[in-house]
Amino acid sequence: MSNIIENKRGTDQILSIYWFTILTIIAGGIIIMVYLFYGPPIDIRDYETDLLIDHISNCLSQGGYLKQGVITPDETVFKENCNLNFNAEIVFEPKGEQYYSKISFLDVNGQAINNEQFPNIEIGNKNYLGSCELQINNPDTKFESSPECKEKRFYVVNKATNQGVIVNILVAINKIEKNIKD
């Protein structure tokens, strides 16, 4: 009988080690969740620029061909055609638009095309263009208080003329107040 009691004490000690481990895991999980919730915001502007570029490129092309009737120099019509909404949250409205996008077209030799068929399209806050040019020309020069900029080029075929065109998309997203805290 005493042999059974001794074995029971051993199992209680092993069981208390498991309880301590489980409590440590739960406490660690709570600490991590509180830090993630109340901690500094995560800067997602890099991913947001990728998503905006992908959305615009999907609007302009399908299956390697340029979509007809989408390209227009009128900013509001282009935004409607591509289902773009550049209105940021109400908090940021006094500071102006938080987005900028410039779509330009190049021929296969890299020469800029700017005519009625392929106009340059600029949407949003044009003040970000200077900062974007600085970032793109000097990738090591990145300031925390400047907008996040990305540029992407892709090749499409114009069905009307059966010629290739290079589409250049430049996107800038500011949203500093929401993504970066001092």
**Per residue in 10-27, pLDDT tens?**
556 666 888 899 999 999
For the stretch 144-155, pLDDT in tens is 678 888 999 999
Q: Are 105 and 112 in contact (CB under 8 A)?
A: yes
- The reported pTM is 0.72
For the stretch 81-130, pLDDT in tens is 888 887 766 554 556 678 899 999 998 888 888 888 888 999 888 888 88
| Choice between 28 and 44, residue whose per-residue pLDDT is larger | 28
Q: What does the buried/exposed string (b/e) look like for 72-108 if buried means 16 or more CB atoms within 10 Å of the residue's CB?
A: eeeeeebbebbebebebeeebeeeebbbbbbbbbbee
Residue 49 burial (10 A CB sphere; 0-12, 13-18, 19+): buried
- The number of C-alpha atoms within 13 Å of 143 and in the hemisphere containing its C-beta is 8
For the stretch 138-178, pLDDT in tens is 777 666 678 888 999 999 998 888 889 999 999 998 887 66
> If you average pLDDT over every residue of the chain, what do you get?
82
For 74, the token pair is 């009128």
Q: Are 151 and 57 in contact (CB under 8 A)?
A: no
